[in-house]
Amino acid sequence: MSVTLKKPVRISTTAAEMQEAIKIGRERDRTATKIVAASYERGRGAIVVELSTGAILSVPKSAIPGFAKAKPSAFADLEITAGREGLWSDSIDDGVLLEQLIVIAAGKEIVGFLGAQINASKTSPARASASRANGLKGGRPRLKKTTAA
């Protein structure tokens, strides 16, 4: 059996494409929800994070898989990660992302439902074109009335 190796392909990026990517990245960084402060509240046994939106999220440490068995003193070195999208503790040697905290706090079902609602409300040129084409065909077919026998 012989194996033929493909010649590596070189991908080139133009300066304009790089500038556009930098612009998009800066805009996302400016508008994305980030963690601005974090602490551990011993009395409640909870991780409390303040978000860039002004909201405060409190999650019981027992609900966070990597933090559940940690002693309260281990949270003394709790820090916000470089991208401000997560928390890390060297003494626990574990961390948690903001997305995980939100899912733990709100529940998977509600987060999934909200995500589906947001995606369904998005518009795109392709979706608009398909909608126009269906409209020309008469739109959605009417539901057939069923009679009880």
Residue 20 lies in a domain: no
Find tokens 């190796």 and name the residue: 5
> pLDDT tens, 48-95?
999 999 999 999 999 999 999 999 999 999 999 998 999 999 999 999
Inter-residue contact 8 to 23 (CB < 8 Å): no
- Give the chain's end-to-end CA distance (angstroms, integer): 68
- The reply to whether 93 falls in a domain is yes
With respect to residue 82, please indicate whether it lies within any of the assigned structural domains: yes
Lookup result for tokens 């011993």: 42
- 73 found inside a domain: yes
Q: What is the pLDDT of residue 22?
A: 93
pLDDT tens figures, 5-52: 777 777 788 899 999 999 998 888 888 899 999 999 999 999 999 999
Q: What is the CATH number of the domain that holds 66?
A: 3.30.2020.40
45 found inside a domain: yes
Classify residue 120: in a domain, yes or no: no
Question: What does the pLDDT read at residue 127?
Answer: 78
Stated length of the chain: 149
Residue 125 confidence (pLDDT) above 90: no
Q: Enter the pTM of the model.
A: 0.65
Q: How many domains is the chain built from?
A: 1
Whether 132 is in a domain gets the answer: no
Domain extent for 82: 33-106
Query: Quick check: is 28 in a domain?
Result: no
Whether the pLDDT of residue 149 is over 60: the answer is no
